């Protein structure tokens, strides 16, 4: 997987809603109804993350879930992060 | 629940292994075998958190799980945080 340039990242971000660049990753902060919902979303994303063998950074407290995607091997953002971001959007918009 | 003084926090910390004070909370960083194990620990802690109606801050990436406990209502650490910390230890040492 190749590290994307800033232009490539910006282009790919246009295909997503609410995601932005932060340092060497892409991030989005979600707010759910309660802890139970946040946890069930984490679990659903976990299944996809295992399938893709690509794991998000989760920061959760109660109903809040901040997600950060980055490809640590290359120290930046790759298409793998966008693939996972799209899967996350699908899970959260169900 | 009353906010504990620094002395009271330090005293309570002697009953736990690997926890320390950080800002207005107590924290411990865990490392598990893999993502699956980290996630199952998050879920087990989630059950207890719901029972206690007191939720940790989780930061997870792959097999790493950083936990921070704080009682937001009082802006500090209370006995509720220590109760949860003990439950977390029990879960992680199973």
Q: Nearest CA to CA, how far is B54 from chain A (Å)?
A: 9
pTM attached to this predicted model: 0.95
Chain A residues whose CB is inside 8 A of the B42 CB are: 39, 42
CA–CA distance, B77 with B65 (Å, rounded to integer): 20
Residue B1: the pLDDT is 85
Along the 94 residues of chain A, how does pLDDT read in single tens digits? 899 999 999 999 999 999 999 999 999 999 999 999 999 999 999 999 999 999 999 999 999 999 999 999 999 999 999 999 999 999 999 8
Give the residue on B whose Cα is nearest the Cα of A69. Answer: B61
Residue A94: the pLDDT is 83
What three-state secondary structure class fits B30? Answer: strand
Chain A residues whose CB is inside 8 A of the B55 CB are: 35, 61-62
Residue A33: the pLDDT is 97
CA–CA distance, B34 with B87 (Å, rounded to integer): 21
pLDDT-derived band at B6, boundaries 50, 70, 90? very high
Does the structure's ipTM exceed the value 0.90? yes
Question: What region does A62 belong to: left with phi over 0, alpha with psi -120 to 50, or beta?
Answer: left
Closest partner CB to B35 (pick from A50, A59, A60): A50
Pair A19, A85: CB distance under 8 Å: yes
Phi–psi pair at B50, nearest 5 degrees:
-65, -40
Region B47-62 average pLDDT: 97
| C-alpha distances in Å from residue A61, one per residue of A11, A35, B51, B58 | 31, 8, 16, 6
Kindly report the average pLDDT of chain B as a whole number: 97
- As beta bridge partners, residue A91 has none
A57–B61 CB contact, under 8 Å? yes
Closest partner CB to B57 (pick from A55, A56, A61): A61
Region B43-60 average pLDDT: 98
Residue B73: the pLDDT is 93
Pair B9, B79: CB distance under 8 Å: no
Closest partner CB to A58 (pick from B46, B49, B60): B60
């Amino acid at each position: 997987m190749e590290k994307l340039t800033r232009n490539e990242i910006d282009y790919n971000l246009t295909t997503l809603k609410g995601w932005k660049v932060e340092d060497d990753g892409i991030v989005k902060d979600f707010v759910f109804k309660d802890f139970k919902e946040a946890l069930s979303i984490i679990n659903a994303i976990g299944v996809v993350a295992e399938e893709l063998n690509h794991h998000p950074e989760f920061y959760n407290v109660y109903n809040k879930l901040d997600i950060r995607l980055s490809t640590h091997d290359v120290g930046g953002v790759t298409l793998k992060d966008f693939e996972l971001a799209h899967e996350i959007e699908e899970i959260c918009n169900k």
